Amino acid sequence: MSILCVGSVALDSIRTPLGSAEGVLGGSAVFFTAAATLFHPVQVVGVVGEDYPLHELDFLSLRGGDLSGIERRAGESFFWSGTYSSDLNSRDTVETRLGVFADFEPKIPESFQSARILFLGNIDPVLQLDVLDQVKNPDIVACDTMNYWIEGSRNALLKLLERVRILIINDEEVRQLANNPNLSKAARWIQDRGPEIVVVKRGEHGATLFADDWLFFVPGFPLEKVCDPTGAGDAFAGGFMGCLAKADSLSPGDLRRAMVYGSVMGSYAVEQFSIRRLINLSSEEINRRVLEFRKMTTFETHILSEDHV
């Protein structure tokens, strides 16, 4: 059973301290699917213009991606251009052209409507709700959002959260949504409004999962070279959801494992511009980095006796 992903399919132009890339593949659905299909089949719904090189996504089809839900329309594809700071922790948007994405109203093909797992990429919460109404009783609904929607479509977003099981969001956004600077309190506030699982992405500092009565933290993988952070969060979400779909479980052990695989996919995504690093990424490379994660984070406990306290 495939994961259904609905999100943006875009073209990006990016400048970082390590170079630049013009008109490369981007968008939340593209990064998510490039990561998730390494674990599980994905059905994709999106929209592109006449200028989009869909043939460059053929590799996704070869590993279980169904791109038949991507609609091509007359006009220009969604385009974003940005420049990153010297430390890659902030970026300035140079230009955004919505193109055909401005009128995007997702229509879920009948063959996709029985998906058991639904991932709602970062689009208008009103559209996310509409997609949710078109899918027949999904077992797991996960979504992403951003500060623009938190500020401009808050009521629709809160309505959506009532029907979402997993929210994947960054640390700035979770604080903004809950209006609370404390990360733990902000996550609990969100859980009270629907999602039983809140995953907070923290960039190079890793990610934290908040469940009912426990949490789990995974660090960011230490890299000597970061080329392009664009889409790292979507690649994390793809690895996380793909791993959960493969396990067909939301047990604490599988959630912890999915967090590690999500962090691994995010770490690979930033090593090259666009999705280039994810195209030929092998299972051997993924597993090797997972084992490196384990070595870096596993330790034996020696409980101090009262004599040492």
Domain ranges across the chain = 3-298
pLDDT at 204: 86
Residue among 217, 293, 213 nearest 259 (CA): 217
Q: What is the pLDDT of residue 148?
A: 87
Predicted local distance difference test score (pLDDT) of residue 257? 97
In this predicted structure, what is the pLDDT of residue 1? 66
Q: Cα 229 to the chain's mean position, in Å?
A: 13
- The CA distances from residue 235 to 22, 33, 114, 164, 279, in Å, are 20, 8, 24, 20, 12
Mean pLDDT by 10 residues, the chain (309 residues): 92 94 96 98 97 96 96 96 88 93 94 96 94 95 92 94 96 95 96 97 93 94 92 96 96 97 96 96 96 91 67
Give the contacts of 40 (CB within 8 A, at least 6 positions apart). 2, 3, 64, 242, 245, 246
Any idea of the CA torsion for 43, 250, 163, 260, to the nearest 10 degrees? Answer: -70
276, with CB counted inside 10 A (0-12, 13-18, 19+), is middle
Pick the CATH number of 3-298 from 3.40.1190.20, 1.10.540.10, 1.10.10.1100, 2.60.120.380: 3.40.1190.20
CA separation, residue 191 to residues 112, 146, 175, 180 (Å): 28, 17, 13, 14
Q: Which of 3, 35, 27, 6 is nearest to 236 (CA)?
A: 35
Q: Check residue 86 and give its pLDDT.
A: 87
